[in-house]
Amino acid sequence: MIFDAIVVGAGITGLTTAYIATNRGKKVLVLEKQSRAGGNIKTLKVEIDNKTYLFEEGPQTILANNEAVYKLINSLPVEVVKASPTSNKRFIYKRGKLIPIPLKPWEFFLTPLVSLKSKLLLFKEFFEKPIQTEDESVASFVRRHFGEEFLNYFVQPFVSGIYAGDAQKLSLRYGFPKLWEIQKRYGSLLKAFFKEKRVAPKGELISFRGGLIELIRALEKKVNLLTDAEVLKIKKTDGNLFEVISKKGTFKTKKVIITIDAQTTARLLKPLYPPIEVLKEIYYPPLAVVSLSVPKIGLEGFGFLVPPKEGLKILGAIFVSSLFEYRCPKEEDCFSVFLCGDTQKEVCQQKEEEILLTAQREIKRVFPQIKEFRFRKIRLWKKSIPQYWVGYQRYMNALEGLRKVESNILVISNFVEKSSLAGCIEKGFKVGERI
């Protein structure tokens, strides 16, 4: 049998691609290395003493900011849950306190997060002229437009929260393409805000009653999936087909869709197109997600982020019990705490128990009223989120080169263009329609 497409990897990108193409009558096979589908998506559901805890150990929510997400979830038997209305309350940790992130312009002028001097820099920002550069770091862009304090207390915490990354290294062009476009077009972000009425991405924060894994379970039922089927080699045959050699057999296909990490992609595709080896350089920092519960302390909001200058050994935490209902016993509050990332990778060199204790110690510094921790568990990601560093263009050039030589191999992993769940779904949807 000859498949129309073989999808390598059964994370959200691979499953969405296969589902859309299968629905359109294509013969598609998904090959997954692990014994389970989902990739980064890992929902943990535990019952202890008749109490149920539901934590996400990988991605926490989907920011549904494109049509593909709604088309996908509306076509599947999943129960969507929206984040609580208080989830727009987010905090930054400064000098022992959680300070709300200003949501309205006038709140910005009152916030103690940055000094009056930094606030006045906003007036100067209005006169920034467009600059045409190949690329620049997020930090250099923010410093020029808003100053150092703004970088430390607003932007770096967000870069940690989204990419587990370092604003000094992250590319504005690839990490925040919308801002890159705006700066090329208007120069000033404020000017763009007044003209376009919005700079920040919009969209609802959603998940599912049974956690994000519910989406994976629904998708895997609709596709032809082989687990424990690591792909070992991809070869070209005489008839312009590909032979995909996996631990569960060899399969022939017209197209190959790659949705796996950069290092394995480089290894599999190097025999077909040697320059692709450059993908090996793409860095994925380690990230630890610690799930904790404490006797109720009245958490409200989405969670908080920590500027590196504040000296805590955590990147931030999500208030799980406030974000979604039915995730934490009523008499308790639950947190997902994030540690390591590119800026604090040394924390992940400790033993897992020590990382867990670090998370508990730092959460207690933020909430000294906590007397005990009840539920506690750690998930360590040795390779978490791909870092779109300055100079990312060279990887995109290598992929462009591959496209020219082998147009029937498509790489749509999360190191290409978008790494958010919504972005992965959008890419999977587009490619699934095209197969």
Ligand X SMILES: Cc1cc2nc3c(=O)[nH]c(=O)nc-3n(C[C@H](O)[C@H](O)[C@H](O)COP(=O)(O)OP(=O)(O)OC[C@H]3O[C@@H](n4cnc5c(N)ncnc54)[C@H](O)[C@@H]3O)c2cc1C
Token pair in block for residue 322: 């406030």
**Contact pick of 6, 13, 279, 329 for ligand X (by CB under 6 A):** 13
* Cβ-based nearer residue to ligand X, 14 or 147: 14
Minimum distance, C-beta of residue 128 to ligand X, in the bound complex (Å): 30
- In a 13 Å sphere around the CA of 302, the CA atoms on its Cβ side amount to 21
CB 269 within 8 A of CB 402: yes
Minimum distance, C-beta of residue 36 to ligand X, in the bound complex (Å): 8
Judged by CB under 6 A, the stretch of 4-12, 68-76, 151-159, 272-280 that binds ligand X is 4-12
Minimum distance, C-beta of residue 40 to ligand X, in the bound complex (Å): 4
The torsion region of residue 3 among left (phi > 0), alpha (psi -120 to 50) and beta comes to beta
Using CB under 6 A as the binding rule, whether residue 188 contacts ligand X is answered as no
* Cβ-based nearer residue to ligand X, 147 or 161: 161
Cα-based torsion angle of the residue sequence 368, 370, 373, 377 in order, rounded to the nearest 10 degrees = -50
Judged by DSSP in three states, 136 sits in coil
Handedness of CA 174, 180, 184, 185 (dihedral sign): positive
Using CB under 6 A as the binding rule, whether residue 58 contacts ligand X is answered as yes
- Helix axes of 12-23 and 421-434: crossing angle, nearest 10 degrees: 30
Judged by DSSP in three states, 301 sits in coil
Judged by CB under 6 A, the stretch of 111-119, 329-337, 346-354, 415-423 that binds ligand X is 415-423
> What is the spatial distance between Cα 209 and Cα 200, in angstroms, rounded to a whole number?
27
Judged by DSSP in three states, 77 sits in coil
Minimum distance, C-beta of residue 163 to ligand X, in the bound complex (Å): 9
Minimum distance, C-beta of residue 129 to ligand X, in the bound complex (Å): 34
* Cβ-based nearer residue to ligand X, 111 or 263: 263
Strand 90-94 to strand 303-305: parallel, antiparallel, or no bridges (unpaired)? parallel
Using CB under 6 A as the binding rule, whether residue 114 contacts ligand X is answered as no
Cα 297-303-304 angle, rounded to 5 deg: 110
**Contact pick of 5, 17, 20, 39 for ligand X (by CB under 6 A):** 39
Using CB under 6 A as the binding rule, whether residue 219 contacts ligand X is answered as no
> Per CB under 6 A, which of residues 65..94 are in contact with ligand X?
none
Using CB under 6 A as the binding rule, whether residue 287 contacts ligand X is answered as yes
CB 228 within 8 A of CB 235: no
* Cβ-based nearer residue to ligand X, 14 or 175: 14
String of contacts with ligand X for each residue 240-259, x by CB under 6 A: -------------------x
Judged by CB under 6 A, the stretch of 131-139, 149-157, 345-353, 411-419 that binds ligand X is 411-419
Minimum distance, C-beta of residue 385 to ligand X, in the bound complex (Å): 5
Judged by CB under 6 A, the stretch of 56-64, 297-305, 321-329, 348-356 that binds ligand X is 56-64
> Per CB under 6 A, which of residues 358..387 are in contact with ligand X?
381, 384-385
Minimum distance, C-beta of residue 169 to ligand X, in the bound complex (Å): 18
Hey, which residues does 414 pair with through a beta bridge? none
Phi, psi angle pair for 81, to nearest 5°:
-120, 140
Using CB under 6 A as the binding rule, whether residue 11 contacts ligand X is answered as yes
Using CB under 6 A as the binding rule, whether residue 61 contacts ligand X is answered as yes
Using CB under 6 A as the binding rule, whether residue 231 contacts ligand X is answered as yes
* Cβ-based nearer residue to ligand X, 39 or 307: 39
Using CB under 6 A as the binding rule, whether residue 260 contacts ligand X is answered as yes
Minimum distance, C-beta of residue 353 to ligand X, in the bound complex (Å): 19
Cα 126-112-169 angle, rounded to 5 deg: 60
**Contact pick of 304, 339, 413, 432 for ligand X (by CB under 6 A):** 413
**Contact pick of 9, 165, 187, 432 for ligand X (by CB under 6 A):** 9
Minimum distance, C-beta of residue 290 to ligand X, in the bound complex (Å): 11
> What is the spatial distance between Cα 173 and Cα 313, in angstroms, rounded to a whole number?
29
Minimum distance, C-beta of residue 187 to ligand X, in the bound complex (Å): 30
- In a 13 Å sphere around the CA of 76, the CA atoms on its Cβ side amount to 25
> What is the spatial distance between Cα 397 and Cα 21, in angstroms, rounded to a whole number?
27
Hey, which residues does 234 pair with through a beta bridge? 244
> What is the spatial distance between Cα 373 and Cα 381, in angstroms, rounded to a whole number?
23
**For the residues of 207-242, what is the DSSP string, one character each?**
EETT-THHHHHHHHTTS-EESS--EEEEEE-TTS-E
List interacting residues with ligand X (CB under 6 A): 8-14, 31-34, 39-41, 58-62, 230-231, 259-260, 264, 287, 289, 381, 384-385, 413-414, 419-421, 424
